[in-house]
């Protein structure tokens, strides 16, 4: 159950607005000076309870101090779930490339239309490709970390997979070591919107990550800068994220990272990425109107909120369409 579920599911137990100070004249009482949203301040305790229940306190600490964390497989999902995601991604890889893929063999971009470079291709827009991807959007650990980092305002922005394998062109590529970046929306001068705090990213890894296996690189502490790196900046401070298959790597929008290590071993590196934006931002992929009602009907409230099913903005001349909202999804 999400934090917002806890508050919205039982409106009758929501605390009312905090009492106003007795002497309003002394402290001033101009409109907008006080936080009056009912329930807004109880979010802290509700978040904390959920974080503790899932054993995520060390992860929150790492997110704050280093800008990223690795959640071990046993906290994320059972091994069978990891296997189902892996199988589904291999099915999509075959569909998108026209080539049968297997974890133990090197890949082939074939007809893949997006992000194809030596030893690498990406697969976009996965949410509706298989019910196991829908299930991922209901994952409590993912939901808790997104709610924490985006203050309960997260919306699924993209749902992609990355397929990487050993290739001489990749090993020789300068581009890989130059690939450190932040995923956050930014201003033209390279400063990140709200210091990068309006988005967050996650990688559910389906194969073991090590430097030799071409893992992702992170620059610990870089999230504090709130800007993009200058060319070459961060390269000497980056570290490989080494973790077993089934782990979840979760990072702040501001954190510098990149696919900086070439894959030196045979077989695939397979990764499923879900990024989340503050709900007021335009998302990278567009799920708000794309998720069919029958999908919403079989999914929970966390899923509905993450795909923006409650968001009526962006309507046409017909006006807001509250029919899109089934109360069952929200309470
Ligand atoms: O996994 C990688 O190698 C880098 C991917 C990346 O930059 C991202 O997922 O935002
Ligand atoms: Fe990235």
> Distance of CA 280 to CAs 3, 155, 195, 198, 283, Å?
19, 9, 16, 9, 9
Locate the DSSP E strands across the chain: 68-71, 120-123, 154-164, 199-205, 217-218, 239-240, 248-252, 257-258, 269-278
Evaluate whether residue 34 is within a structural domain.
Answer: no
Predicted TM-score of the model (pTM): 0.87
Ligand 1 pocket test target in 70, 162, 274 with most atoms within 8 Å of CB = 162
Enumerate residues lining ligand 1, CB below 6 A: 162, 183, 201, 203, 216, 257-259, 271, 273
Task: Dump pLDDT digits (tens) for 226-256.
Answer: 999 999 999 999 999 999 999 999 999 999 9
Evaluate whether residue 12 is within a structural domain.
Answer: no
Evaluate whether residue 307 is within a structural domain.
Answer: yes
Q: DSSP 3-state assignment of 90? A: helix
* Ligand nearest the Cα atom of residue 254: 2
pLDDT band at 283 (very low <50, low <70, confident <90, very high): very high
Domain containing 131 equals 3-7+42-330
* Ligand nearest the Cα atom of residue 159: 1
Average pLDDT over the chain, rounded to whole?
A: 86
Please indicate whether residue 216 or residue 7 has the higher confidence score (pLDDT): 216
pLDDT band at 19 (very low <50, low <70, confident <90, very high): low
Which string of b and e fits 122-160 if b means at least 16 CB within 10 Å?
bbbbbbebbebbbbbbbbbbbbbbbbbbbebbbbbbbbb
What residue owns the CA closest to ligand 1's atom 10?
Answer: 183
Evaluate whether residue 238 is within a structural domain.
Answer: yes
Evaluate whether residue 151 is within a structural domain.
Answer: yes
User: What is the pLDDT averaged over residues 148-167?
Assistant: 95
What residue owns the CA closest to ligand 1's atom 8?
Answer: 258
pLDDT band at 210 (very low <50, low <70, confident <90, very high): very high
Q: Distance between CA 15 and CA 42 in Å, rounded?
A: 8
Whose tokens are 């904390």? That residue is: 48
What pLDDT is stored for residue 324 in this prediction?
Answer: 55
User: What is the pLDDT averaged over residues 49-75?
Assistant: 97
Least confident of 21-25, 98-102, 174-178, 227-231: 21-25
Number of domains in the chain: 1
User: What is the pLDDT averaged over residues 257-278?
Assistant: 96
**Chain-centre distance of CA 293, in angstroms?**
23
**CATH number of the domain that 146 lies in?**
2.60.120.620
Evaluate whether residue 312 is within a structural domain.
Answer: yes
Please indicate whether residue 293 or residue 75 has the higher confidence score (pLDDT): 75
What pLDDT is stored for residue 323 in this prediction?
Answer: 43
Evaluate whether residue 27 is within a structural domain.
Answer: no
Q: Distance between CA 77 and CA 80 in Å, rounded?
A: 8
pLDDT band at 117 (very low <50, low <70, confident <90, very high): confident
Whose tokens are 């879900």? That residue is: 274
What residue owns the CA closest to ligand 1's atom 3?
Answer: 259
CA 16 / ligand 2 centre spacing (Å):
41
What residue owns the CA closest to ligand 1's atom 7?
Answer: 258
CB 118 within 8 A of CB 103: no
What pLDDT is stored for residue 261 in this prediction?
Answer: 94
Contacts of 310 (CB under 8 A, 6+ apart): 304, 325, 329, 330
Evaluate whether residue 35 is within a structural domain.
Answer: no
């Amino acid at each position: 159950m999400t934090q917002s579920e806890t508050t919205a599911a039982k409106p009758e137990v929501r605390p009312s607005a905090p009492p106003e100070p007795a002497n309003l004249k002394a402290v001033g009482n101009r409109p907008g000076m006080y936080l009056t949203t009912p329930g807004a301040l109880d979010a802290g305790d509700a978040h904390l309870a959920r974080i503790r229940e899932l054993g995520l306190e060390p992860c929150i600490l790492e997110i704050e101090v280093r800008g990223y964390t690795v959640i071990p497989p046993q906290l994320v999902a059972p091994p069978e779930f990891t296997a189902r995601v892996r199988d589904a991604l291999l099915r999509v890889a075959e569909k998108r490339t026209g080539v049968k893929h297997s974890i133990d063999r090197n890949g082939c971009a074939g007809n893949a239309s997006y992000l194809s470079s030596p030893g690498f291709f990406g697969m976009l827009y996965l949410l509706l490709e298989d019910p196991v991807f829908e299930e991922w959007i209901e994952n409590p650990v993912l939901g808790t970390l997104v709610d924490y980092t985006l203050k309960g305002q997260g919306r699924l922005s993209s749902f992609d997979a990355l397929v990487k394998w050993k290739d001489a062109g990749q090993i020789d590529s300068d581009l890989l070591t130059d690939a450190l970046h932040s995923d956050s929306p930014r201003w033209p001068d390279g400063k990140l919107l709200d210091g990068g705090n309006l988005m967050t990213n996650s990688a559910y890894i389906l194969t073991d990550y090590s430097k030799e296996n071409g893992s992702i690189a992170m620059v610990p502490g870089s999230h504090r800068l709130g800007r993009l790196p200058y060319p070459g900046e961060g390269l000497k401070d980056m570290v490989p994220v080494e973790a077993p298959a089934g782990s979840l790597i979760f990072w702040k929008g501001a954190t510098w990272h990149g696919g900086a290590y070439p894959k030196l071993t045979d077989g695939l590196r397979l990764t499923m990425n879900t990024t989340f934006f503050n709900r007021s931002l335009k998302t990278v992929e567009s799920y708000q109107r794309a998720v069919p009602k029958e999908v919403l009907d079989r999914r929970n409230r966390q899923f509905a909120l993450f795909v923006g099913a409650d968001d009526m903005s962006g309507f046409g001349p017909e006006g807001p369409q509250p029919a899109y909202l089934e109360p069952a999804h929200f309470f």
